[in-house]
Amino acid sequence: EDRWIVSRHHRMTQRVQQLLEEYQMGEAQWELYHFLWNELCDWSIEMSKVRLRQGDTAPVSVLAYVLERTLRLLHPFMPFVTEELWQRLTASLPPEGGLPESIVMAPYPEALPQALDAQAEGEMNVVIGVVRAIRNVRAEYRIAPHQPLEALVDAGDGGTTLEEEAQAVQTLARVEPLRLLVDRSQRPPAHEAVIVVVGKATVYLPLRDTVDLEAERLRLRQEEEAAEANIHRL
């Protein structure tokens, strides 16, 4: 997780630098916005909470590093807010690195090629994809967020990563239990589960005890009839 968010930060920095050199200010802002919300907040911070609750404080320094640099990247677009946040953040950081008194005087961050980690990005993409897939099934079948959902995962080549990130997947997707399949004969019957493919991983979600399958079939038939009627009308 830590290698992934640091790599994503430097890849975003690289892209922002390129866009600013091309005077594409709006696109540069969009890259920053997307990184802050969709990667740092939605995933990195939420995954870090799982580790922090288990007593692992390592994510704190990584999050501080990424946030401090991202505030400097964002400063030309949001000078007053970023100055306020940067002052509060740096006041709680260890007094090292020679940071100036104001973000205005701080150097604009540059991407470090050695920080780019394609392996970590690829492995975490599978983890994030699995969580998204389970959330999408929950939404589609209208399964309440508090209702536990069993998940079986045939991880393919990514078994080690998913095993390491099992607690994060369970927490973020609200899965209980989460089982990694070591033998494909353990897969549930296809007619009793929703099957989602995420990269080289396959997720099986048995819904017999969670969803009224007959009612779901009826709902899908009604949606199909409504779609056909709309096509005929058009």
The pLDDT profile of the chain, 234 residues, written as one tens digit per residue, is: 999 999 999 999 999 999 999 999 999 999 999 999 999 999 999 999 999 999 999 999 999 999 999 999 999 999 999 999 999 998 888 776 678 889 999 999 999 999 999 999 999 998 999 999 999 988 888 888 788 788 888 877 656 788 888 899 999 998 888 888 877 677 777 777 888 888 888 888 887 777 777 787 888 899 999 999 999 999
Instruction: Give me the pLDDT at residue 163, please.
Output: 85
In this prediction the pTM is 0.83
Our CA angle for 96, 98, 99, nearest 5°, is 105
CA atoms within 13 A on the CB side of 22: 10
Q: Which amino acid is at 143?
A: I
Instruction: Give me the pLDDT at residue 207, please.
Output: 78
59 and 51 Cβ atoms separated by less than 8 Å? yes
Instruction: Give me the pLDDT at residue 97, please.
Output: 65
Instruction: Give me the pLDDT at residue 71, please.
Output: 97
Among candidates 46, 51, 58, which has minimal Cα distance to 173? 46
φ/ψ of residue 203, rounded to 5:
-105, 130
Instruction: Give me the pLDDT at residue 28, please.
Output: 97
1 and 47 Cβ atoms separated by less than 8 Å? yes
Instruction: Give me the pLDDT at residue 111, please.
Output: 95
Helices 166-173 and 118-140, axial angle in degrees (round to 10): 30
Which is it for the CA torsion 208, 167, 123, 181, positive or negative? negative
174 and 148 Cβ atoms separated by less than 8 Å? yes
Q: How many residues does the chain have?
A: 234
